[in-house]
Chain A
Amino acid sequence: MPKRTDLSSILIIGSGPIVIGQGAEFDYSGTQAARALKEEGYRVILANSNPATIMTDPEVADRTYIEPVTPEWVAKIIERERPDALLPTMGGQTALNVAMALAKDGTLAKYGVELIGANERAIRIAEDRDEFAQAMRRIGLATPPGVTVHSVDEGLAAVERTGYPAILRPSFTLGGTGGGIAYNREEFETMLGRGLELSPVGSVLVERSILGWKEFELEVMRDGYDNVVIVCSIENIDPMGVHTGDSITVAPAMTLSDREYQVMRDGACKIIREVGVAAGGCNVQFAVNPDTGEQLVIEMNPRVSRSSALASKATGFPIARIGAKLAVGYRLDELPNDITKTTPASFEPVLDYVVVKIPRFAFEKFPTANPVLTTQMKSVGEVMAIGRTFKEAFQKGFRGLEIGRPGWTIGETPADDRLSDTSREGLLAAVRTPTPERLFQVKRALLAGIAVRDIAECSRIDPWFLYQMEELVEAEKEWAVGRYVGKSVDEMPRPTDLPTYRPTDELRRMKRMGFSDRQLADARGLTEDEVRDRRHALGIRPAYKMVDTCAGEFPSVTPYLYSSYDEENEVGPGGDKTVIILGSGPNRIGQGVEFDYCCVRAALAFREMGYRTVMVNSNPETVSTDFDISDALYFEPLTLEDVLEIVHLEKPLGVVVQFGGQTPLRLARGLEAAGVPILGTPPEAIDAAEDRGRFEAIVRELGIAQPPNGTAMSYQEAVREAEKIGWPVLIRPSYVLGGRAMQIVYDAESMKEFFAKAERVAPGHPVLIDHFLEDAFEADVDAIADGHRCVIGGVMQHIEDAGIHSGDSACVLPPYLITEAQVEEMRRYTRAFAQRIGVIGLLNVQYAIKHGVVYVLEVNPRASRTVPFVSKTTGVPLASLAAAVMTGKTLDELGVIDEVAQPYVAVKEAVFPFNKLPGVDLILGPEMRSTGEVMGIADSFGMAFAKAQASADGSLPESGAVFVTVNDHDKPTVAPIARRFHELGFQVLATEGTARYLQQRGIPTERVLKVYEGRPNAVDLVVSGKVQLLINTPLGKLTQQDDYILRQAALQHRVPYTTTMSAANAACDAIIALRSRVGEVRSLQEWHAMSKAIRVAPSP
């Protein structure tokens, strides 16, 4: 059957901001779905609050709404657009929840909107643990025994029957939020309370623990004619008890016999039919008892997921794209296999390679968070690696993770591998507990000669994986001493086409196991270059093979490639117009989807200009690793070794390093040293901006103000410098990303603490010290330059004061509290920097404004985090233009005349992982900790800010009580804010000091007890729902704990909070906007039509 013709417009809901548990994978799936439906001629309407995504680019859909992904706001979009159908399966749990709410409240029925892809019943059965368990019983499948409870008392009764350790799974939360493993009653009560609070329906499943069972996932698709295929099987190396998002996973499954696999496959087919996914995909998780083979169904998700994105990348089968087509009526066998183009989509991909996914964590940014991995996801990104064998993929995965390890390599010290005791007992105890470092601990255990079966018994990792790891350890030992017993001495040169190919060569053998040049060098005390030179002299280079969905059975036309030290290379150079774009690797805090956005825009732009575009990236969650974005995709780690080999093969015109964040920038010098041409701003110019001494000279030369600064190698030196330039100082190690270890230091004592911690951050590099401009405004400027001229993309003012990392601060475009003269000054400086440094492409400059003086903080001659936000606001595709500029086009030729001005306001707000990492304080600082961002766009600042808050899951109250407790420094600032709230009719609550201060200024304020003052206290009010907004700044050492408890209470009970004065003020504006009129939605396409060019002073 062809597609449905009774539908003409379809609404797709995105997943909102990137948070732990719901990441960039939904940009990938949403973008695919939108493109798939658009090419079928449907009018596609998109709702997503996340500006950093490709899916919210105005070209992707017909109508793009960057609005809060909440039932209230999506209903407004429906009312305005009247879509025929709603596809809720592409935007994670967020989209499913919104769709369910709109179905329940009658909105969908009222406007005649049909749910396609998954219906209400399927969504409900999949999410409601009891209904799911019943459904499984109906089809003869077993689930872990469990009880759904709605109160702590009910839970305590339930756990009597199910026993400890108990698994807690709150209903309808994403990424297992609020879930966990409780080993005793105390833990159980705490976790259950939290879980009930976090579940939107207030229920939690208490389940029998099957810790240590093997965990598998199947990705299933079904069309409207009941044809079912399994796209991929995935096996978790970490057994049950670790969220699959935090597990190292392998595709295809490695340790299942056909008999076991087929039972699982039958189960998955039955499940998708019974739950009733009418046309689309789902993910099913199974647990297998390693001793008996008993299989239990853990859960199913009737939507695309992180695993389905991984499965798509692992197999070449585009699940979201096919899912979208099935949703509008196609049959699987009517759709082509997009990789082979010769066979249909109604088949099951087979792999002739092994895929390993490794999660990337950010615990270094959250030292107080518990690093033990459990059923609630904690990782912020992931890397995928493809190799011909498990060992090859495993090693590639670790070096692609970009955590400073050249492969599966132990840390310099046991502490690096989270070990305090390296005795046999210590190692075995450590591997019992899953943490991000567990497999490094396993390596140490193997190196210590501990038997696989002992490690398996403690870790419950399947011995097969451990044996594979043991083989790596053995090979590494043999290599270190230059002895490989299997090496044959009587080998004859090969007479045919591949004279140097001998699988038994010692070096080739190591490369075939995935060892990097650097690992091999380290093992023998050589340099990486020495190993590389030797390897090249022997003619040992990787062969590139295709991911073709069919293990070579059919010809394939899609160059989706990976390297392997195998015999036959399947690709050659693709002509003389090749451009290589280096992606941004695994997502992490400070380097997320926004850089992928830039890479994708650039790739599409180069293609449009007639270049053959080659993408290199290792992140399966991204749009850039969709094989149809570029002309060739190399799914490879972003290390110098891997990139140099691709360059050697492709012989490109140049390599593009400025779109993927720090990952490609770090490679720039090495590439240049190897004679590889870099397109755009030359590495030398990048260095001029990054090298402190050189940059200072440039700033002086241009006559621009800079906060007084210095460098220091020791604590004493640092104190001397600080006294010279004036306290407080902003202090950080050089060459860091995302404000890593950056801190504001007010005195010598805190300086001492910093040095105690900072030592390991960047050994050998000095510590940078800047005078901290307290209470200054900060601003970001994004611009584009062609070597002659520089055009401003946008000037953004931070809402939070200086001292909060720019990635964590809300910002507004255009600026609202800076004078036009100051904005003009920043424009002028930015152009001067572009000119002086020699920028060709994008640049970002950060400024601070204090007492009317504009200071420059830093210049980044590359794509910044804010490029997508600026482009979404202005409609100017900065990254695409930058790609054009790099090919030698001038801005004049591109028709880029001037900055574009808007008669509207856009606000970007950061989104934090605090509710996923219990125990982390939510006070902001110079170290970036947000995982994602949202955007609010409206015709006034207040409304844009209100929308941004609603999108960031902090919907502001329109009435009620505001609770103010701030430090002395902030008291003068908070008084007028409190007055505004009072005038708005809010009840003002405050703790003693603040209350007295406000009362003295005539603001009616009710005093509330601090925690140590007795009860009912501040926390009680928050817990009992008597506070609608919390304004809190840290009160100093004495009450630190008190403050912390208060903020945690607000977080847990979902009370909106603000920890800065400027944000509190903005919240006030927003509340006024919310109360004065109804919030309206408008598409980006309509907003952009209002933008117009304004005159700015011509460049000198």
Chain B
Amino acid sequence: MTDHPAFVLLEDGTWFSGTTRLPAGPSFGEVVFTTSLTGYQETFTDPSYLGQIVVMTAPMIGNYGVNDSDMESGKPQIRGVVVRELSRTPSNWRATGALDQWLQAAGVPVIEGVDTRRLTRHIRSRGAMRGVIAVGSAPTADVVAQLGASPSMEGLDLASIASVKERYSEGHDGPHVVAYDFGMKRNIVRMLVAAGCRVTVVPAKTTPEEVRSLDPDGLFLANGPGDPAAIGYAIANIRELASSGLPTFGICLGCQLVGLAFGGRTVKLSYGHRGGNHPVRELATGRVLITAQNHGFAVEGSADGIPGAPDLLPTYVNLNDGTVEGVRHKALPVFAVQYHPEASPGPHDAYPHFGEFLALMGAASAQNPATS
């Protein structure tokens, strides 16, 4: 195979040389980086990355190939992959194929040989921005123009695209959780089921009436791509359902939606948190968890409080930049975390949140036996 010159061009005009073995048309998306050392397959199939070009800061990617079980959705969701070096000959007992072929089959361009550290440092100092992966030795005026016309992440409702179109159920016993799918990772469903829940996953635009008709014991708000402020329908629905006393647990986008639902605001972080090593502090105990994260937006606030949402208590903060990593309602059985307790990829320190949700549902049904 031949290496064809290719490049990554950012909207500020900076570009980065590399090569590709699979020349294809230009691919546009928001360029973000993740510092996860492992779990590229889970990352690429995570619907929260929908529409993004992902830079892997770990330099050797593809080493252990791909397999059928490390899928967080049915297919790669990303617009492109930027790596320092792509491994073509994987080695792992679970591997069923090579990463490059898998990406090729899904039509996802991959550029390699890029100084990904330079690209990462650039995004870190200038912020995440739109970009394009294209073939050629240098950007052409045409590509520059197309990039300028491509959509920006802010104000974009990607959740409804990432969401399931039809509801489905998993699990047979236990409390019934209705999960709003804004781009839900499969491992969340697996974790809820493993925790002993029956889960009904519903599309992002499902109305509160429809949810109530499913007779839920708890409401789950999934992760997903895009700007939380752009999905007003979800915010209103969540406010209505959570305010009724329905135990509610949100992850990532779900956390931002809880914030918005109770009067808070969200902000776009300069370059987001993406990786598997983010320390968060539980404010109540001082305990530190190492968490998996993947978000470009966050609930505005700090350890001192959530502006506009006096009923929400910050529960976790990020130790690197002090951003809000979790909230809890002062009166209602509602809590949410910005990071990913389901991990996949990432550390399992926050697994216990699923148990907390279960306990919350148990307590609620004990208090209101009539409703269960």
Contact = CB atoms under 8 A, between A and B. Distances in A.
A500 to B, nearest CB: 11
B336 to A, nearest CB: 22
Interface stretch (A345-353, A606-614, A905-913, A1067-1075): A345-353
A553 B91 contact: no
A888 to B, nearest CB: 40
B57 A552 contact: yes
A545 B17 contact: no
Nearest to B286: A225
Given A347-B320, A389-B59, A491-B5, A256 B64 contact: yes
Contacts of A343: 319-320
Contact of A347 (B57, B319, B348): B319
B224 interface: no
A390 B346 contact: no
B315 interface: no
Interface in B179-230: none
Contacts of A568: 115, 117-118, 121
Interface string A267-306: 0000000000000000000000011110000000000000
A486 B3 contact: yes
B346 A258 contact: yes
Interface of A is mostly: loop
Interface in B55-94: 57-60, 63-64, 67, 69-70, 84-85, 87-94
B52 interface: no
Nearest to A387: B59
Interface in B259-285: 275-279, 281
A262 B37 CA distance: 11
B64 A347 contact: no
B88 to A, nearest CB: 8
B2 interface: yes
Contacts of B38: 253, 256-258, 261
B15 interface: yes
A665 B131 CA distance: 50
B163 to A, nearest CB: 25
A415 interface: no
B39 interface: yes
B137 A389 contact: no
Contact of B348 (A226, A262, A333, A342): A262
A262 B343 contact: yes
A501 B17 contact: yes
A488 B136 CA distance: 10
A110 interface: no
A349 B277 contact: yes
Interface string A221-252: 00001110110010000000000000000001
A331 interface: yes
Given A486-B3, A552-B121, A293 B94 contact: yes
Given A258-B344, A346-B319, A503-B18, A488 B4 contact: yes
A467 B92 CA distance: 13
A554 B60 contact: no
A546 B190 CA distance: 40
A344 B279 contact: yes
B58 A350 contact: yes
A390 B60 contact: yes
A490 interface: yes
A570 B118 CA distance: 9
Interface string B292-314: 00000000000000000000000
Contact of B19 (A332, A351, A504, A554): A504
A554 B120 CA distance: 10
Contacts of A255: 63-64, 91-92
A333 B317 CA distance: 12
Contacts of A1089: none
A759 B324 CA distance: 71
B124 interface: yes
A496 B17 CA distance: 12
Contacts of A567: 16-17, 115, 118
A550 B35 contact: yes
B17 A502 contact: yes
Give the interface size class of chain B.
Answer: 35 or more
Given A554-B320, A566-B118, A262 B288 contact: no
Contacts of A258: 36, 38-39, 42, 70, 276, 344-346
A769 B2 CA distance: 60
Contacts of B364: none
A389 B278 contact: no
A551 interface: yes
A761 interface: no
Interface in A375-430: 388-390
Contacts of A346: 279, 288, 290, 319
B3 A488 contact: yes
Nearest to B139: A495
Contacts of B114: 503
A254 B60 contact: yes
A760 interface: no
A163 interface: no
B116 interface: yes
A354 B121 contact: no
A746 interface: no
B93 A290 contact: yes
B113 A503 contact: yes
A186 interface: no
A463 interface: yes
A492 interface: yes
Nearest to A498: B17
Given A227-B287, A553-B35, A554-B124, A257 B275 contact: no
Given A257-B38, A259-B70, A348 B290 contact: yes
B36 to A, nearest CB: 7
A333 B281 contact: yes
A463 B141 CA distance: 44
B347 interface: yes
B354 to A, nearest CB: 15
Given A254-B63, A389-B60, A488-B4, A551 B287 contact: no
Contacts of A233: 37
A551 B93 contact: no
A15 B89 CA distance: 44
A464 B117 contact: no
Nearest to B69: A259
Contacts of A566: 115, 117-118
B91 A551 contact: no
B255 to A, nearest CB: 21
Contact of B59 (A259, A352, A543): A352
A123 to B, nearest CB: 26
Nearest to B289: A227
Contacts of B116: 352
Contacts of A550: 35, 277
Interface string B1-32: 01111000000000111110000000000000
Contacts of A553: 33, 35, 57, 120, 124, 275
B89 A463 contact: yes
Interface string A542-560: 0101000011111100000
13 contacts: A258-B42, A261-B38, A333-B281, A347-B279, A350-B275, A354-B60, A389-B85, A463-B91, A495-B138, A504-B19, A552-B57, A553-B33, A568-B121
Interface of B: 2-5, 15-19, 33, 35-39, 41-42, 57-60, 63-64, 67, 69-70, 84-85, 87-94, 113-118, 120-121, 124-125, 137-138, 275-279, 281, 286-288, 290, 319-320, 343-348
Interface of A: 225-227, 229-230, 233, 252-259, 261-262, 265-266, 290-293, 331-333, 342-344, 346-354, 388-390, 452, 462-464, 467, 485-486, 488, 490-492, 494-496, 501-504, 512, 543, 545, 550-555, 566-568, 570
Given A463-B89, A467-B87, 9 more contacts: A258-B36, A348-B277, A350-B36, A350-B58, A351-B58, A388-B117, A389-B60, A495-B138, A553-B275
The 3 A-B pairs with the shortest beta carbon distances in the complex, nearest first, are A258-B39, A567-B115, A486-B3
